[in-house]
Amino acid sequence: MLKKVLDGARGLWDGDLTLFGAPPVDEFTRGRLRAEQIGSVVRYTPAIMMANVFNALVLVVAMWDAPVANLVHLWAFCLITMCVYVYLRRRGDPGKHRPKTASPRGIRHAALYAFIIGCLWTVVPLQFFEASSYQGQLIILCLSTGMICAGAFVLSTIPSAAIAFTTPLAFGFAVTVLQMGQPVYLLVSVLTIVYAFVLTRAVATHALQLLARVVAQVESELAAQTDSLTGLPNRVAFREELNSALSRLARYGEGFAVLYIDLDDFKSVNDQLGHAAGDDLLAQSADRMRACLRDIDCVARLSGDEFAIIAAAVKEPVQAMVVAERLVRAFSSPFMVGGARITSRISIGIAIAPFDGQDAETLLKKADTALYSSKRDRRGHFQFFQSELDAQAQHRIAMEKELREAIAHRQLALAFQPFVDMRTRRVTGFEALLRWDHPTRGPICPLDFIPVAEKTGCIQEIGEFVIGEAIRTAATWPDHLRIAINFSPDQLRSMSIVPLVLGLLKDSGLQPSRLEIEITESAVVAESQQAIEILQALRGAGVRIALDDFGTGYSSLNYLRKLPLDRIKIDRAFIGDMIEHPDCTAIVKAVIGLAADLGMDVTAEGVETENQYDSLAALSCHEAQGYLLSRPVRADAVHKIIQDQALAA
Ligand code: C2E
Ligand code: CA
Ligand code: CA
């Protein structure tokens, strides 16, 4: 019991309120409480000091003729000096921009000053009361009780200071008055002690109310700054953390690193295993990241599958590299989510303060740029910011913005390039090729903007536009003509593409067999099983599948066996070189033979000369496409080609 009281009293000295029955709180909340306690006392300090000086002067005047007048002057000098000292210290206080938390030192200082001033006031009854006239005693009585009450009131948020101030004064006064021996003095003495106890109780209640308010405030702030799924700080909290790191950098020169993190395969986990599994993966990823960091570092979830880390006290890039390596390694082992064992890797972009920037915007932008290049070049790894990336990133960001506007303002359109039957030279169909009619830069080649659309996710929206537009256009053509559409790897990630395509076919009345999807080998390599399932589903519904740019990708013949294919398109690089390089002719010949053996059709792309055409015809290639036959043309010109063909027939 005694130990508990002693511990409580020691805690009280540091601003802790357990002695009064307060619930235990964490160190952060204690710091916030101390800041509130000190803040409210500091606000009153000038007024308190002025009241002290005024009261001291009142006493000097009242005791001007008393035998102890000299002693009173000396006392008043000491008190006023102390008050001026405390006032000047308060002036050095940061005022409005006080820190949000405070150490116990400020509380101890407040209690110490309160104690010294309280002791100085105790001198008044102890030394001057007996020697005073009746009027003087009345003034001392008035001043002492006034100081006890005012002190307790003003210091009520810091109970230790309130007690340190009132206790010596109350007891000093009570003892002095008691010594006078008369019953009326006895009554005054008892009343003073009772008041002191009542005041202490009131101080404790007030301090506990303040604590409850601070606890509620900290809890609501915490809730507003926490990501509920992972329990990590959210974007708001991350920005605050970044700001404190920046002020530590400005004040102490303490460098740090910002790491932007993106889960590489999150979208496919969400699509394939469902959102609950996606959430589970995010929560587990957060745990793994946390386990890689020191206490002084901070990891936050910014949005979706985007995380960010502030690695504190980083002097050299190598220190950030160690953290990044640890993170990459932590994601090399598989996760168990939704009953499935999956691998989910992360890509990391790193910017280092002060080398890469000394303000939040610059650092975040550079970390993001580095992440982008990491995702592009080295998925599953980390990448430091390099300034030459900046120019590329600027270009990408500008293009991305314009591309989104292009979609909104319908600046995208399709061109169509015919395929020709090599034996009859008759058109068998058209390939839809995307065009961006930029209002100032003119037409932009798809090879310039499709990769940007793929990186930024716009490709889904663009892809849907192309599919819809191509199918609707082809539905107006004669029945024997097919339409070929190019698919990006990203379009083969989610099964939802299947009902989308089939729905559009149904709405437009286009026979599924008149639609051909062109995919590249890399699309299938990257997305493997999911992509194959999508292609099988489409093919099962009658849609045809062509392998585009054959010979340029991984060219593993295994894919020809694994994929549900109807056609191979030989890349134009081989056709262009056929005449001068006999080995190209040999490859083309082999591919045509292979396709025939596998029961597939073959189209040669990029046929530019009659020579090439004749050679291909001699090798029994089925179809040709290229500038020799026609450049890609707009939809209205397609009708002209169709009409000409009909007339020629
Ligand atoms: P691709 O699928 O290989 O398309 C054929 C490209 O070769 C087209 O370029 C076409 O204009 C060009 N070409 C046709 N004949 C000849 C020829 O005789 N000689 C030469 N040198 N080139 C010829 P384009 O339209 O610039 O398209 C470039 C690439 O952009 C396409 O290559 C395709 O990969 C991609 N692309 C185009 N439209 C789309 C689309 O709607 N979606 C997706 N995902 N990609 C598209
Ligand atoms: Ca193509
Ligand atoms: Ca091609």
- Residue 459: give its domain's CATH number: 3.20.20.450
Q: How far is the CA of 549 from the centre of ligand 3 (A)?
A: 4
- Residue 353 lies inside a defined structural domain of this protein: yes
Q: 9 CB less than 6 Å from ligand 1?
A: no
Closest CA to 271 of 545, 400, 460: 460
pLDDT tens, 206-248?
A: 989 999 999 999 888 888 889 999 999 999 999 999 999 999 9
Query: Does 59 contact ligand 1 (Cβ within 6 A)?
Result: no
Report how far ligand 3's centroid is from the alpha carbon of 551 (Å): 10
Over range 577-601, report the average pLDDT: 91
Same domain for 331 and 197:
no
Nearest CA-CA partner of 158 in 87, 94, 206, 197: 206
Residue with CA closest to ligand 1 atom 21: 606
Q: Which ligand 1 atom sits closest to the C-alpha of 447? A: 30
Look up residue 320 and give its amino acid: A
pLDDT tens for each residue of 407-418: 888 899 999 999
Give the three-state DSSP class for 155: coil
Please state the rounded mean pLDDT for residues 357-376.
91
Residues 635 and 590 in one domain: yes
Does residue 646 line the site of ligand 1, with CB under 6 A?
no
In a domain? residue 487: yes
Ligand 1 atom nearest residue 445's Cα = 26
User: Does the C-beta of 629 come closer than 6 Å to ligand 1?
Assistant: no
Asked, for residue 325, whether it belongs to a domain, the answer is: yes
Query: Atom 22, ligand 1: which residue's CA is nearest?
Result: 606
Residue range 384-438, pLDDT digits in tens: 988 765 666 667 767 877 888 898 888 999 999 999 999 999 999 999 999 999 8
Taking residues 273-299, report their average pLDDT.
Answer: 93
**605 and 512 assigned to the same domain:** yes
pLDDT over threshold 80, residue 312: yes
| 3 state SS of 515 | strand
Does the residue 209 lie in any domain?
A: yes
- Whole-number pLDDT of residue 554: 57
Which of 224, 243, 262 finishes a domain? 224
**Interior angle at CA 471, CA 469 and CA 475, nearest 5:** 115
Beta-carbon contacts of 497 under 8 Å, excluding residues fewer than 6 positions away, are: 491, 534
Is there a single domain that holds both residue 423 and residue 323?
no
Is residue 368 pLDDT above 60, yes or no? yes
What is the arithmetic mean of pLDDT over 77-98? 78
How many helices (H) and strands (E) the chain has is answered by 22, 17
Q: Is 434 in the pocket of ligand 1 (CB under 6 A)?
A: yes
Q: What is the pLDDT of residue 638?
A: 95
398 vs 519: which has the higher pLDDT: 519
The answer to whether position 574 is within a domain reads yes
What atom in ligand 1 is closest to the CA of residue 607?
18
Segments forming the whole domain that contains residue 521: 406-648
Residue nearest to ligand 1 atom 19, measured at CA: 606
The pLDDT score that the predictor gives to residue 288 is 95
Q: Is 632 in the pocket of ligand 1 (CB under 6 A)?
A: yes
Minimum-distance ligand 1 atom for the alpha carbon of 628: 18
- Residues 530, 625 share a domain: yes
450 lines ligand 1 (CB under 6 A): yes
What is the tally of structural domains in the chain? 3
Distance CA 169, CA 173 (A): 6
Centre of ligand 1 to C-alpha 606, Å, is: 10
Predicted confidence at residue 477, as pLDDT, reads 96
The reported pLDDT for the residue numbered 444 is 87
Are 474 and 410 within one domain? Answer: yes
Q: Domain check: are 573 and 425 in the same one?
A: yes
In this structure, which ligand is nearest to the CA of 552?
Answer: 3
Residue 29 within a domain = yes
Residue 473 and residue 381 share a domain:
no
Q: Are residues 361 and 438 in the same domain?
A: no
To test the pocket of ligand 1, the residue of 407, 458, 459, 486 to mutate (highest count of ligand atoms within 8 Å of its CB) is 486
Distance 567 CA to ligand 2 centre (A): 12
- The alpha helices in 124-234, defined as continuous H runs, are 134-154, 159-179, 183-224
Question: With contact defined as beta carbons under 8 Å apart, do 320 and 350 qualify?
Answer: yes
CB of residue 606 inside a 6 A radius of ligand 1: yes
Mean pLDDT value of segment 127-145: 88
User: Distance, CA 290 to ligand 1 centroid (Å)?
Assistant: 46
648, pLDDT greater than 70 = yes
Ligand 1 contact, 630 CB (< 6 A): no
Q: Report yes or no: 304 and 266 within 8 Å, Cβ to Cβ.
A: yes
Atom nearest to 627 CA in ligand 1: 18
Last residue of a domain, one of 224, 255, 288: 224
Closest CA to 578 of 590, 561, 568, 562: 590
H/E segment holding residue 257: strand 256-263
Window from 118-122, 379-383, 554-558, 599-603 with minimum mean pLDDT: 554-558
Question: For residue 96, what pLDDT band results from cuts at 50, 70 and 90?
Answer: low
Residue nearest to atom 15 of ligand 1 (CA): 626
pLDDT of residue 373: 85
What is the C-alpha to C-alpha distance for residues 516 and 402, in angstroms, rounded to an integer? Answer: 30
| pTM for this predicted structure | 0.51
578 and 506 fall within a common domain: yes
| Predicted local confidence at residue 292, as pLDDT | 93
Same domain, 87 and 132: yes
Any ligand 1 atom below 6 A from CB of 626: yes
Ligand 1 pocket test, candidate residues 417, 433, 456, 611, most atoms within 8 A of CB: 433
What tens digit of pLDDT does each residue of 153-192 get? 989 889 999 999 999 999 999 999 888 888 888 898 899 8
**Is residue 397, in this structure, part of any structural domain at all?**
no
Q: What is the mean pLDDT of the chain?
A: 89
Is position 399 within any domain? no
Contact between 606 and 636 (Cβ < 8 Å): no
Model confidence at 558: pLDDT above 80 = no
| Nearest Cα residue to atom 34 of ligand 1 | 486
Q: Which of 118-127, 329-338, 527-536 is predicted with the least confidence, judged by mean pLDDT?
A: 527-536
Candidates 167, 287, 300, 177; CA nearest to 227 is 300
pLDDT over 80 at 553, yes or no: no
Tokens of 474: 């082809």
Last residue of a domain, one of 333, 356, 385: 385
Q: Which two tokens stand for residue 307?
A: 């995380």
Q: 417 CB under 6 A from ligand 1?
A: yes
- Give pLDDT tens digits for 201-210: 999 999 899 9
Say yes or no: 293 and 432 in one domain: no
